[in-house]
Structure 1
Amino acid sequence: MVTVSDPDELQTVHLRVAELVQGLHNRPDTDSDTVLAELAEHAAVEITGAQYAGITLTRNAKTIETPAATHHWPLLLDKIQQRHLEGPCLTAAWEEKTVHVADLETDERFPKYRKDALSETPIRSIMAFQLFIAGETVGALNVYSEQPGAFGADSRNLGLIFAAHSSVAWNSARREEQFRRALASRDSIGQAKGMIMERYGVGAVQAFELLRKLSQDSNVPLTRIASDLVARAQPSSP
């Protein structure tokens, strides 16, 4: 946890976060889960007042995931949100805003969540920042403290910086994963087409049409049809 006392220090933290994200981009083996885990760890350290941090993701406001958390408490709090379909992190994710719970003992916005959070965890203050995620998924970067009134203006400024960088980093990592999956699918389809062309003496278009018909008839994705065909053609291990 850091304390930001002036604009120069805020700028310094901003640069540290940018360098962190750049470092994640430069590592060839970094996947989206790793990006989120590392950003959550750094958020718990950098954001003023934070003891713990976590990422909340949801697609339809009914199913909640916690792909990254620095402690058991963020995981449990998301389970409570899932239980009651209400809470500050879920609200931040869907309503595209920052949600600040200064003192869970007195905050009345999420009554069911508040009751269980108070009885099951020591968390007393929360600040949640909406993540700008491409596609149907929405999310929030959340920080937590066992002390009421732990978060203020510095926390909000740093949290917004982290949320912006986290959104960019995760979207980029997801695009890389999608690109790698697309390449793998293309390779599998290409190999399967080649096998059919060689075995049945047909052209590339005819081979692809055969794969497509098999996919339609069996109601199985074309990429899986191709992968299974290639896998069956591999020699068995002794």
Structure 2
Amino acid sequence: MASMARDLLTQDSVAATLERISASATELVDGCEASGILVLHGRKVKTLAPTHQLVIDSDRLQERLGEGPCFDVAHSPHGDRVLRIADLTAEQDRWPAYARQARELGVGSMMGFLLFTEDENLGALNLYSSEPGAFTATSEMAGLLLASHAAVAFSSARTHAQMEEAVATRHTIGEAMGILMGARHLTEDQAFDVLRRYSQEKNIKLREVARLICEQGTP
């Protein structure tokens, strides 16, 4: 687990970090056959880094039905941060429609862990097994440790990616302003005003206007 935590921080992108998290779940958590990360946008579900099609199918089912354990873990910041379901057939009260249809997909038991930091909830790490009773208290502890490391790595990777994007955007805007200043004999403030005004009038993001100018030499 310690080796995995160090490995997560060496990944070179958000996608690679998430894929390593999912793969680690199948490697380190007893009983885990498939894993993935569920992120909610309102009531819409996005599946990240699934190790198997089963994960995608389960997430889509929960989105369609508007119910399910992973859906609940990811949706409510005040909900259970850890959820272990020994046997889906015994969950007719909490998620009647999902429990029945998920069993048809081949889900026997599952666990869900909220991925969170002090500042935000990032989604839910979900682990699946085709067999009922596959996950034990030891599995849950391993999953919780994995989720704790995963949340920090996920947040760090995303912040790094956002910073890289911001630097790239600033560079592109500066280059576009230079083109306008040279072509139209504008001051720095005037060149930026041209970019801003064009962005507002055409309802195009400023960085996209700058990119077009860098490629074409003019808006």
Normalized against structure 1, the TM-score is what?
0.84
Is 1:39 aligned to 2:26, yes or no?
no
What is the CA-CA distance between 1:35 and the residue it aligns to? 0.7
RMSD: 1.8
Deviation at 1:96, TM superposition (A): 4.7
SS in 2 for 1:58: strand
Which residue pairs with 1:232 in the alignment?
A: 216
Asked whether 1:16 is paired with 2:16, we answer no
Q: Following the alignment from structure 2 to structure 1, what is the Cα–Cα distance between the partners of residues 119 and 195?
A: 29
Deviations 1:206-228 (A, max 9, x none): 11111111111111111111111
* 1:71 maps to 2:25: no
Aligned to 1:81: 62
Which sections of structure 1, spanning at least 5 residues, go unmatched? 1-13
Q: In 1, distance between residues paired with 2:153 and 2:22?
A: 12
The CA deviation at 1:133 is 5.8
Counterpart residue number, 2:146? 162
8 Å contact kept, 2:63–2:71: no
Whether 1:130 aligns to 2:114 is yes
Distance, in Å, in 2 between the alignment partners of 1:201 and 1:20 is: 51
Paired AA for residue 85 in structure 1: G
* C-alpha distance in structure 2 between counterparts of 1:134 and 1:71, whole Å: 30
Shift of the 122–76 alpha-carbon distance from structure 1 to 2, 3 Å rule, reads: same
Output the CA distance in 1 between the equivalents of 2:203 and 2:120. Answer: 25
Which amino acid is 2:216 matched to? R
> 1:131 aligns to what SS in structure 2?
strand
C-alpha distance in 2, partners of 1:76/1:113? 11
Amino acid at match of 2:100: K
Whole-angstrom CA distance in 2 between matches of 1:17 and 1:217: 49
Could you tell me how far apart the structure 1 residues matched to 2:130 and 2:80 are?
A: 25
Cross-structure match for 1:114:
99
Whether contact under 8 Å (1:125, 1:146) holds in the other structure is yes
Give, in angstroms, the shift of residue 59 of structure 1: 2.1
- Which amino acid in 2 is paired with 1:152? T
State the shift of 1:158 in Å.
Answer: 0.8
Tell me the alpha carbon deviations over residues 159-178 of structure 1, each in whole angstroms, 9 at most, x when there is no partner: 11111111111111111111
Q: 2 CA distance for matches of 1:57 and 1:135?
A: 16
Per-residue CA deviation, residues 113-154 of structure 1 (Å, 9 max, x unaligned), is: 1121122x1211001000116887641111111111111211
How many residues end up aligned between the 2 structures?
Answer: 214
Identical-pair percentage: 33
Counterpart contact for 2:122–2:151, Cα < 8 Å: no
Which residue does 1:11 correspond to in 2? none
Q: Deviations over 1:185-223 (max 9, x none)?
A: 111110111011111212111111111111111111111
Q: CA–CA distance in 2 between the matches of 1:134 and 1:35? A: 20
Paired amino acid for 2:62: Q
Specify the code of the residue in structure 1 equivalent to 2:13: D
Distance 2:200 2:80 in 1: 40
CA drift at 1:33: 1.2
Runs of at least 5 residues in structure 2 that lack an aligned partner in the other structure: none
Find out whether 1:100 has 2:81 as its counterpart.
no
Deviation of the 1:16 alpha carbon: 2.8
Is 1:51 aligned to 2:33, yes or no? yes
